[in-house]
A and B are shown apart, each in its own frame.
Chain A
């Protein structure tokens, strides 16, 4: 199984500042056939189900604010929030779908103000 490891486990960022969350996979999730990274990001606010933010490592889901961006390739990926808003307080998860099943998630990163 592909193991996903996020860092840091928790992060405190001031309003308006940049937040960066990292995700590392135990093996590549880049498919050489189509040059796509099989990685997605989710946001889970307190008491709510997760919400899809990013897929194919960098494609923003419809309706997601453009302050959210995904980058990286191969085994190392980053979710960046360019200017933190109060409503961005949440736990963020990365997920790989390169070797599916099983689909595997990172352990989560808690983002606070």
Chain B
């Protein structure tokens, strides 16, 4: 299993950024996927989840209405569109595979290396 994030960088407050995650080594279309972030020197914060067929999407309250998760099973790729970025969104963003039972994510069994997003003027 490999998860490789890209798209991070420096962006000004109020700006937008799109993160991508390229998945390989497993049948991508069978798994729920997530974004989890970690601010510098801080703990882990779940950001968003998407079910295997994109039927169910979930967001943390802190990003609801500003971020949008999507996936392309034909391209084995996961995305996170981030709009109206704030300084507090500065973090390493991890692409994470989950174990889903029913319609909701449970625990996380594989993590990418992460991509750093810095929101600063």
Contact between chains at B61 and A52 (CB < 8 Å): no
In the bound complex, what is the Cα–Cα distance between A93 and B36 (angstroms)?
13
Chain A residues whose CB sits within 8 angstroms of the CB of B104 once the complex forms: 97, 100-101
| A105 beta carbon closer than 8 Å to chain B | yes
A interface secondary structure, majority: loop
B interface secondary structure, majority: strand
Given contacts A49-B114, A55-B99, contact A105 B108 (CB under 8 A): no
Total interface residues on A, using CB and 8 Å? 22
What bracket does the count of chain B residues touching chain A fall in? 20 to 34
Q: How far is the CB of B81 from chain A (nearest CB, A)?
A: 18
In the bound complex, what is the Cα–Cα distance between A38 and B33 (angstroms)?
18
Contact between chains at B58 and A101 (CB < 8 Å): yes
Kindly list 11 other residue pairs between chains A and B, CB separation below 8 angstroms, not including A55-B106, A55-B107, A101-B58. Answer: A40-B106, A40-B107, A49-B111, A52-B109, A97-B104, A100-B106, A101-B46, A101-B49, A102-B58, A104-B46, A108-B43
